[in-house]
Amino acid sequence: MRFQEKVCLVTGSGSGIGRATAVMFASGGGKVMVIDREEKGGMETVDMITHAGGQAIFSKADVGKEEEILASVDLAIKTWQKIDVLVNNAAMMTFKKITDLTSAEWDLVMTVNLRSVFLFCKYCIPHMSNGAIVNVSSVHAHETTANVIPYASSKGGMEAFVRGVSREYTDLRINCVAPGAVNTPMLWNNPNVKSGKEIVSGAIGKPEDIAAAICFLASGEARFITGTTLVVDGGRLDIL
């Protein structure tokens, strides 16, 4: 019960890695806030947790909107009076060359993938005492492919952000995990993968594989780890 009485917030937890992480926190005794813009998926995650005897509530939020981020944090504090763990998992991708991208498309990726991380940290940290933050980056922060430059840039920025926050707030731990190919809707909804333009070679992980790494970094077992990135990719970086 690594997360007994710990309050854990997970964004994008209506499916995929976020859902697996929320379920794993709850199975370890955590009180989980499931944050997602889609109520159906979010409530499905809550039901999975509560039917297994865990504790969870849902907060509907578009992480691209500051007022909805703040409302989620306020609800967590109103419900539990503290925050112990924050997982910034929600993300989006585009699939165009930069000359075809509009500035609005670029800005949206940065808002969802990077600004939301800043805002959740900004509003959660004042309520955290010796807490842990885990941000879901990507192997694309290290090696990437064509037509996903905004996504890769946002994840590279996330890792730089984590290094800085670790220096400013030494009483908490903040890290990233960088997944490779994972069996989630984001992977299979990639139009390049759908069309066969991009072949997903090498190992494909399960959401639970990434959730296990996130939970490790969020637990007391990782008390001496901060300001860094744990690559969890089944060796994908070796072939990119």
| CB proximity list for 181: less than 8 A, separation 6 or greater | 187, 200, 202, 203, 204, 205, 233, 234, 236
Closest Cα to residue 89, out of 39, 140, 42, 136? 136
SS percent in the chain: helix, strand, coil, step 5: 50, 15, 35
- Catalytic (active site) residue 151: yes
| Set 85, 151, 153, 217: catalytic member | 151
Angle of the 103-110 helix axis to the 149-168 helix axis, nearest 10: 40
DSSP-based three-state secondary structure for 223? coil
Reported residue count of the chain is 240
**In the block, residue with structure tokens 């139009």:** 191
DSSP state of 196: T
Catalytically active residues are: 151
